[in-house]
Amino acid sequence: MTSDPLHFVRRVHAPHHDRIAEAFESILKRKGTDVTTIAPEATIKRASDWLRAKNIGALVVTSGNAVLGLISEREIVHAFSRYGDTAGSMPAKEIMQYGATTVSPDESVNRVMNLMTHHRVRHILVLRGGELAGIVSIGDVVKHRLEDLELETNVLRDAYNAAR
């Protein structure tokens, strides 16, 4: 076992160079590359406050530049259910998900959706050149996919109407 904190990060990379691959990069561009991070020693109360203030569902737990994992609303709810009111003063490292599924920005949207489903994760980290470039939620992916399907439907309808 290595002491490297990135040892726990699952890296998944299989580039696809088609229109859909570009779309995943566009999800990241539209969403932005800001990633809210928190130290593993920060309290669960502090994590909860950050989630509320930023109106997000997960924080990336880091130590320096190393990604250690994620803490989301789910882990916080489970902590309060399990430990009661004392959970608020516990450090994030006690309840966080160690490791994270990661992808590069050139992945296809379909591959990312499959990874999120297979690993049963709602947030996936985007690494560019080994550096944290963003975080994407399943909601971001679904929103993009719905917009893509709507565009496709409109194009097909227009082609049908033009052919009549």
Dump pLDDT digits (tens) for 1-43. Answer: 334 444 344 444 444 444 545 567 878 888 888 899 999 999 9
Instruction: Show me where the domains of the chain are located.
Output: 8-163
- Each residue of 56-66: pLDDT tens digit? 999 999 998 88
pTM (two decimals): 0.75
* Percent of the chain topping pLDDT 90: 43
Pick the CATH number of 8-163 from 3.30.420.40, 1.10.10.10, 3.10.580.10, 3.40.228.10: 3.10.580.10
The helix or strand, by DSSP H or E, that contains position 156, with its residue range, turns out to be helix 138-163
pLDDT given at position 94? 96
The contacts of residue 136 (CB under 8 Å, 6+ apart) are: 27, 28, 31, 112, 123, 124, 126
> Per-residue pLDDT averaged across 144-159, rounded?
85
Q: 55, 27, 59, 61: which is closest to 41 by C-alpha?
A: 61
Q: Give the angle subtended at the CA of 102 by the CAs of 144 and 119, to the nearest 5°.
A: 80
